[in-house]
Amino acid sequence: MEILHVSAECYPVAKAGGLGDVVGALPKYQNLLGHVAKVVMPMYRTKFLYTNDWEVVHKGGSSLGYSWFEYTVIKEKNNKLGFDLYLIDINGLLDREKVYGYDDDTERFTSFQIAVVDWLAQWQHKPDVVHVHDHHTGLIPFMMQHCYAYHHLKNIPSVITIHNAQYQGWMGWDKAHYIPTWDGWKWGQLDWQDAINPLASGIKCAWKVTTVSRSYLDELKYMSNGLEDLFEFEKGKCSGILNGIDTAVWDPQTDSYLDNHYTVATAAAGKLANKEILCKQFNLAIDKPLIVFIGRLVGEKAADLLPQAIGDSLYYIGQKMNFLVLGSGEPAVEQQLESMRGSLMGYYNSQIGYNEKLSHHMYAGADFLLMPSRVEPCGLNQMYAMRYGTVPIVRRTGGLRDTVKDIGEINGYGVCFNNAAVGEITNAIYRAVTLYEDAKKMQAITEQLMNLDFSWETSAQQYIEVYQSLR
């Protein structure tokens, strides 16, 4: 089958979170299964653009409301990522360093989607499926079906995957003219609660909807930032497919970011060597369990609870453990995590910002990874941690529920708790410290974790089955 993935992110070209990891890996694994998967994304000004070779494959133009824009499609020449990669350049809108966070994101991603559909309309042949990801590409199924200029695309099946339903791309009806002339009777396919809602439109118009874990799909029916009724109504075409991890990139035996590689057999020494580097760099004690947090410092990740949970743990359990936090996000949380460094020196440290290399070091060198998330559609961090023999401490929600089994259960290998509350996090940390003190059990769990299989093979095949059901 030929699959065209459309996404705002794709690792290593541009990544802001898990979406980038997924779109950087899934197409590669679909190709390994004998299909032809391609990716098209915006041409941001990132390092990958300047360090690879490109050819121009198409030039075109379209309008965004009353203004005309020209776009160029370029293709990476050497199949660096294991799939055909196309970037769309639109001067003045997409030629930026960051993926998101600009005042004109609505204009940026609407014009990107128009350019994708306009380009697709010129293809000599058609792909078997167009697979869009999250709200930034959620208007594409609508455009393929209801824009007069693109009517001949309406029989191409489309699938939308929801990586995060908290963000929906809302835009006012005053921007309806941005979308190329469309059948006005179909306004209901764009609308949700009196606004144009690209995510809701994607759910309504795509032929199938997938979420990145089964538990997340169940949760969306009662907690999806206003879309609960829509998920209930459309449940017949929804399914949950757990993300995999790219085991070629995330491998403690070969990871190019690590100074000390290790296998299951050498995990004890390998992890300790990586921990030593971290402890030196961040002034922490090597003989205490190292508990880390990596991620966006936002409410969804319950990052606001970290300062008190860390403080309470050190106070009530005793100074038996160390903490290291890597992340960026809400300024108030960043500030709190920075200001705690002084009073908790020697037990706690943090680095505010995005640092891919440090994150790999932390997955490898830590003893535990804490994820108290309020919402976690799938979560990749816990799977990376487990691949590196690091025990996850997670709240039972979304993909965390589907991937981590508590040590209290038969063959369990993680520490789980039910509520995103300081008391429950502190209690989970207490259980983790107790586990750490049982060296034999800790080693057995490390081995068990590293032997778990979170690779993409199974999930990539499940997506193919979804596409095949549409033929």
Q: Which residue stretch of 18-26, 84-92, 142-150, 389-397 sits at the interface with ligand ADP (rule: CB under 6 A)? A: 18-26
Q: Which residue stretch of 71-79, 136-144, 321-329, 414-422 sits at the interface with ligand ADP (rule: CB under 6 A)? A: 321-329
Q: How far is CA 149 from CA 69, 137, 179, 246, 454, in A?
A: 16, 18, 11, 39, 43
Beta bridge partners of 40: 6, 86
Name residue, tokens 């300081």: 422
Provide, rounded to whole angstroms, the least separation between the CB of residue 293 and ligand ADP. Answer: 10
Residue 390, helix vs strand vs coil: coil
Q: What is the DSSP pairing of strand 67-76 with strand 54-64?
A: antiparallel
Does 394 sit near ligand ADP (CB under 6 A)? no
Residues between 152 and 211 that touch ligand ADP (CB under 6 A): none
Does 296 sit near ligand ADP (CB under 6 A)? yes
- Considering the complex, state which of residue 179 and residue 249 has its C-beta at the smaller distance from ligand ADP: 249
DSSP-derived secondary structure letter, 318: -
- Considering the complex, state which of residue 279 and residue 325 has its C-beta at the smaller distance from ligand ADP: 325
**Phi, psi angle pair for 400, to nearest 5°:** -65, -40
Provide, rounded to whole angstroms, the least separation between the CB of residue 363 and ligand ADP. Answer: 7
Name residue, tokens 């529920």: 401
Does 247 sit near ligand ADP (CB under 6 A)? no
Provide, rounded to whole angstroms, the least separation between the CB of residue 19 and ligand ADP. Answer: 6
Choosing from 166, 336, 355, 434, the residue that interacts with ligand ADP (CB under 6 A) is 355
**Greatest Cα-to-Cα distance within the chain, rounded to the nearest angstrom:** 68
Does 380 sit near ligand ADP (CB under 6 A)? yes
Choosing from 42, 157, 295, 398, the residue that interacts with ligand ADP (CB under 6 A) is 295
Which residue, among 426, 402, 401, has the nearest Cα to 416 in the 3D structure? 401
Residue 79, helix vs strand vs coil: coil
- Considering the complex, state which of residue 62 and residue 243 has its C-beta at the smaller distance from ligand ADP: 243
Choosing from 12, 17, 226, 412, the residue that interacts with ligand ADP (CB under 6 A) is 17
Choosing from 270, 327, 389, 392, the residue that interacts with ligand ADP (CB under 6 A) is 327
Which residue, among 320, 470, 289, has the nearest Cα to 393 in the 3D structure? 289
Residue 350, helix vs strand vs coil: strand
Does 21 sit near ligand ADP (CB under 6 A)? yes
Q: Which residue stretch of 94-102, 146-154, 291-299, 412-420 sits at the interface with ligand ADP (rule: CB under 6 A)? A: 291-299
Token readout for 104 is 């004109």
- Considering the complex, state which of residue 19 and residue 190 has its C-beta at the smaller distance from ligand ADP: 19
Token readout for 344 is 């908790």
Provide, rounded to whole angstroms, the least separation between the CB of residue 2 and ligand ADP. Answer: 27
Does 24 sit near ligand ADP (CB under 6 A)? no
Residue 426, helix vs strand vs coil: helix
**Phi, psi angle pair for 381, to nearest 5°:** -50, -45
Q: Which residue stretch of 202-210, 218-226, 281-289, 379-387 sits at the interface with ligand ADP (rule: CB under 6 A)? A: 379-387
Distance CA 10, CA 207 (A): 23
Q: Count of residues binding ligand ADP (CB under 6 A)? A: 18
DSSP-derived secondary structure letter, 316: I
- Considering the complex, state which of residue 190 and residue 380 has its C-beta at the smaller distance from ligand ADP: 380
Q: Which residue stretch of 198-206, 270-278, 288-296, 312-320 sits at the interface with ligand ADP (rule: CB under 6 A)? A: 288-296
Q: Which residue stretch of 63-71, 353-361, 414-422, 438-446 sits at the interface with ligand ADP (rule: CB under 6 A)? A: 353-361
- Considering the complex, state which of residue 114 and residue 162 has its C-beta at the smaller distance from ligand ADP: 162
- Considering the complex, state which of residue 42 and residue 327 has its C-beta at the smaller distance from ligand ADP: 327
Provide, rounded to whole angstroms, the least separation between the CB of residue 359 and ligand ADP. Answer: 4
Distance CA 182, CA 22 (A): 32
Residue nearest to ligand ADP (CB): 18
Does 379 sit near ligand ADP (CB under 6 A)? yes
Distance CA 384, CA 36 (A): 27
Distance CA 378, CA 403 (A): 9
Distance CA 391, CA 290 (A): 11
- Could you please report the per-residue DSSP string of 437-465? H-HHHHHHHHHHHHT---BSHHHHHHHHH
Choosing from 100, 170, 354, 430, the residue that interacts with ligand ADP (CB under 6 A) is 354
Contact 25, 247 (CB under 8 A): no
Residues between 54 and 73 that touch ligand ADP (CB under 6 A): none
Contact 120, 131 (CB under 8 A): no
- Considering the complex, state which of residue 127 and residue 379 has its C-beta at the smaller distance from ligand ADP: 379
Residue 19, helix vs strand vs coil: helix
Choosing from 4, 147, 325, 326, the residue that interacts with ligand ADP (CB under 6 A) is 326
Angle at 405 between CA 275 and CA 25, to 5 degrees: 70
Positions in the binding site for ligand ADP (CB under 6 A): 17-19, 21, 294-296, 326-328, 354-356, 359, 378-381
